[in-house]
Structure 1
Amino acid sequence: MKKYLSYCCTIILFVLFSCSNEEYMESQNMILPKTLKTIYPNNPSENFDVNIVYNGNKIVSTSNKLEKTAYSYNGNYIASETKYDIRNGQEIKYFETFYEYENESLKTVSKIMNGEETRSVYTKNGDDSITKEIYDFDVKTKKISDNPKQDVLTILNGNLINLVFNWGSNDVMTCSRFQYDAHYNAFKNVLGFNVLLDQEILGSELSVSSFNNLTRHSYSSIASGSIIFEPYSNSMVYEYNKKGYPTKKTTYDYADKIISIIEYVY
C-alpha cells in the first residue's frame, strides 16, 4: 500500500512539474510589447502612444489617438491589415493590405488605397537574396503595369541586411544597409511577423520582422549610373530588460542629434 501511495505521489508531482514547466515555457514565449511610447524631445506636442492588443501571440490591433489598424490571420500567418482614421470618435477605413504566402514564405503583398492597388511579388534567388517586383495594378481594367520597380533584399540570420531599390524609368538606384545588435527584437514572439521581410507593420518600427534590433540604417542613391547622392544614416541605441528585450530605443541622426525615443512596455 505504501509503495502504491508513493508511486501515486510521484506521478502527481511529475504531472504538476510538467504543467508548471509548460506554463513557464509558454510565459517565456509570450513576451509581447503592449504599448509603444514615442517621444520627440524637440517637438513634444507630437508625442504619442501605440496600444497593442493580442489574442495569445496573434496581433489583433494597434491604435493611437489618430488611427487604428486591425489584423486578420490565416492559420499562423497574417492575412490582412486594415487601417482606419479616427475622426470624431468614428473609424474610417482608408488603407488595406493583403498578404499571400507560398512554401511558408511571403509571396504577394497587395496594398489598396482610394481604389488604387500596388502589388509586390517576392521571388527567392539561389543565394540569400530575394527579388521583389512592385507593380501598379489598375482596379478598373484589371491590368498590371509592364515596367515594375524592383528591390533586391538580402536576409542573413533572420535579419534584413541589405536592400537595393531600382526606381525603374527614373534610372535611380537606392541602397540601404542595416546593422543589428545581438538581443531579441521586441516583436520576436508576435506570430507571423518573422516572414514579413521588408513590410513595415508599425510606422515607427523599421524592422518588426527581424530577429534582432536595428542599430544602424544607412542609405545612398545613385542616378544615371554615375551621380551619387550624399549618403545618410540613422543610428539606434537600446536599453534592455533582464530577458534581453529592449525597453527603450533612442534614434540619432547623422549629426548625433536625437530624432525620437521609443519606450517599450510589456
Structure 2
Amino acid sequence: MKKFKNLIGALLLVFISCSDNGTQESIQENKKLLLKSIQEISPSSGLSTIFTYDGFKIKEVSTTGINIGPKKITYAYTGDLITQENGYVGDILYFSNEYTYENNKLKTAISKITNGGTIFPPINETKLIYNYLPENIVEINSYTYSFISDWEQSQFLPKVKVYFNEDNIIKRETMDSDGQIISRIDYEYDNNPNIYKNVIGFNKLFSTNDYTNNFNRHFNIKDINNANNVIKFKETINGFITESEHYNYTVNLDGYPDEKRSYWSSNQYLIEKKYTYY
C-alpha cells in the first residue's frame, strides 16, 4: 500500500511539472505580441486601425474614421525586409513607397503619388538617400524628380540628420541647403516595448519625420522603428520651442502599452489611443 501511495505521488509530481512547463511556455510565447488595433478616442476623429499579418510579417493595415473613408496599406517583403508599401483609398491605388537596402540597412526610399489613382507621374516622386555616419548618426538627403536631370536635391527639405541612442531616435535636425539647422526635434523614451516591436522589418524603416510617409498619417502609424515608446516630444525652430507634448501609458502584463494619452506642455489633455494585440 505504501509503494502504491509513493507511485501515485510520483505521478502527480510528473503531472504538475508538465503542467507548469506548459504554462510557462505559453506565457513565454504570449510575450511576443503583435499589434491588432489602434482605437483613437477623439470627438474629431474616432479613427480605428486594424493590422493583419502573415506570421510576424505585416500584411495589411486598414482604417476607417469619421472624417475619412476606408483606406488600406499593403506590404511586400524580400526576405525579412519590407521593399514596398502601397496605399489605397477604397480600391484605388494612390500611393507607393519603394525601399532598397545595403548591408541590411535602409539605403533609399522612393515615394510615388498617383495622378487620381491612374499613373505615377515622375514629377510626383521624391527620393530619400540614407548615409550612415559615425556615432549613430544617419544623414538623409531628399531629392525631387526633375525632367532635366532626373533627380535634384529638394529645396524645401534638402537634408535631415537623425541621431540614435541604441535602437531609439533621440533627435532629428532639419537643415537648409547651406547646412544650417532650421529645426530640431528631441525625444525621450520609457523602458517598455514599442507597440510595433515584433513586426518583422519595421525596425529598419525611418524617415525625415515620425511617419515613414505622409499616407501613414491616416493610420496612426508612426515611430515604428523605435524599440521603446516616446514619452516626450519637443520641436524647436530657429531657437524657439514651437511644439511640446508628453505622453502617458498604461501597460498590460507583458509591458506593452494598452492605452496612451497625449498632453500639451500645459498638461492639457489632447487625445487618447487604445491598443489591442494578437
TM-score, normalising length: structure 1: 0.81
Equivalence for 2:37: 35
| Aligned mate of 1:74, from 71, 78, 81 | 78
SS in structure 1 at match of 2:35: coil
Query: Residues of 2 paired with 1:19 and 1:99: CA distance?
Result: 41
SS in structure 1 at match of 2:31: helix
Equivalence map 1:51-66=2 (5 Å)? 51-65=50-64, 66=69
| 1:233 maps to 2:235 | no
Equivalence map 1:2-21=2 (5 Å)? none
Equivalence for 1:93: 93
Equivalence map 1:164-243=2 (5 Å)? 164-168=173-177, 173-198=182-207, 200-201=211-212, 202-203=216-217, 204-222=220-238, 228-243=239-254
SS in structure 2 at match of 1:186: coil
Query: Residues of 1 paired with 2:97 and 2:21: CA distance?
Result: 41
Query: Residues of 2 paired with 1:185 and 1:70: CA distance?
Result: 21
Equivalence for 1:128: 136
Query: Residues of 1 paired with 2:23 and 2:264: CA distance?
Result: 46
Query: Residues of 2 paired with 1:155 and 1:230: CA distance?
Result: 22
Query: Residues of 2 paired with 1:208 and 1:146: CA distance?
Result: 26
The alpha-carbon deviation at position 235 of structure 1 amounts to 0.8
The alpha-carbon deviation at position 82 of structure 1 amounts to 0.7
Query: Residues of 1 paired with 2:77 and 2:180: CA distance?
Result: 38
Query: Residues of 2 paired with 1:260 and 1:32: CA distance?
Result: 23
Q: Note the alpha carbon deviations across 1:132-174, whole angstroms, 9 max, x for none.
A: 0001123x55611145600111111200001001143797611
Equivalence for 1:152: 161
Answer whether contact 1:33 1:187 (CA < 8 A) is retained: yes
The alpha-carbon deviation at position 206 of structure 1 amounts to 3.1
Judged with a 3 Å threshold, the aligned counterparts in structure 2 of structure 1 residues 113 and 169 are, in CA distance, closer, same or farther, namely farther
What RMSD over aligned residues (CA atoms) do the two structures have, in Å? 2.6
- Taking only the aligned residue pairs, the percentage that are identical comes to 24
The alpha-carbon deviation at position 24 of structure 1 amounts to 6.1
| 1:162 maps to 2:162 | no
Query: Residues of 1 paired with 2:179 and 2:254: CA distance?
Result: 47
Amino acid aligned to 2:173: V
Answer whether contact 1:48 1:64 (CA < 8 A) is retained: yes
Equivalence for 2:48: 49
Query: Residues of 2 paired with 1:48 and 1:127: CA distance?
Result: 39
Judged with a 3 Å threshold, the aligned counterparts in structure 2 of structure 1 residues 68 and 147 are, in CA distance, closer, same or farther, namely closer
Structure 2: runs of 5+ lacking an equivalent:
1-18, 115-120
Aligned residues: 239
Structure 1: runs of 5+ lacking an equivalent:
1-15, 223-227
Amino acid aligned to 1:136: T
